[in-house]
Amino acid sequence: MKEQKTMITMELEGRKIRVPEGLTVIEALWDTGHELNRGIGCLSGLCGACTVAFLEAGAQRVKFGLGCQVVVEEGMNVIMLPYFPSRVARYDMKSLEDPLGVLSEMYPELYSCNDCKACNICPEWIDVAGVMKKAKEEDFFPAAERVMDCHMCGLCASRCPKSIAPQFVGLYIQRSCARQRPIPANLQKRLKEVESLKNDEEFGKILTMSDEALRDFCRKTVEG
C-alpha cells in the first residue's frame, strides 16, 4: 500500500499552498509548479544562490536562510529573495604585490562602515560586522578565518546603508591572506597530479560510463 504523506499548509511567495512535510523551500516551490529561473545552484547549501526570508508560525522575527536547506513547516510564510546588485572590485590577484596593502583602494567604501550591524543577518551566522571591523583594523587573518563559511549570498550587502558588499570584501581578504601562506603539502601534491594529467585516463573512463555503470562505480568507491 502506498504510504500516505502528511501534508502541511503554508504560505509560499504570497500564496497559500499544501505540500508534503519534510520538503525544503526549493522542493516546495517545485512541488507547487513554480518556475524557478534563478535562485538555484548547487542544492547543497554551498553556492548561496537561494536565499529566503521566512516567518515561522507564531513567530515575530523574520529569519533568513538558504532555500535548499530550510525545511518548510506548518504555518510558515516564505519568500525567495532576489539577487542584490553590489559593486565588486576587479583585480588580478597574482599581479598584486601587496594585496592587503591596497584593500582601501579596492574597497574604499569599507572605511565608511560605522558598525551599525545591519549586516548581521547572515544565514550562516557569520558576525559580518565583526569581520568588517577586523578588516578596518587590519587584523586580516582573523577576519579571513571568520568569513570562511560565507556562501556569497549577498544578504549582508542588501542591508548595508553604506553600500558595502561584505561578501566581496571578505573574499578579497581571504584570497590575499591565502597568497601569504605556503600552499599545504597535500594540495601541492594534488596540483602536480593534475598538471601531469595523471588521472586523465581514469576521468576518460568515467565520462564514457553508462548511468548504471557510473552508479555501480560510485557505490563501490564510497564503500571502499
- Which residues of this chain interact with ligand FES, rule CB under 6 A? 40-43, 45-50, 66-68, 151
List CB contacts of 209: < 8 A, sequence separation 6 or more: 217
Nearest to 165 by CA among 125, 218, 114, 110: 110
- Measured from the CB of residue 28, what is the shortest distance to ligand FES in angstroms? 14
Cβ closest to ligand FES, residue 45 vs residue 142: 45
Cβ closest to ligand FES, residue 45 vs residue 75: 45
- Measured from the CB of residue 29, what is the shortest distance to ligand FES in angstroms? 12
Distance CA 115, CA 129 (A): 6
Three cell numbers, residue 85: 546588485
Angle at 138 between CA 65 and CA 145, to 5 degrees: 40
173, 181 Cβ separation under 8 angstroms? no
Cβ closest to ligand FES, residue 49 vs residue 143: 49
Cβ closest to ligand FES, residue 51 vs residue 176: 51
Distance CA 172, CA 164 (A): 13
- Measured from the CB of residue 46, what is the shortest distance to ligand FES in angstroms? 5
- Measured from the CB of residue 94, what is the shortest distance to ligand FES in angstroms? 28
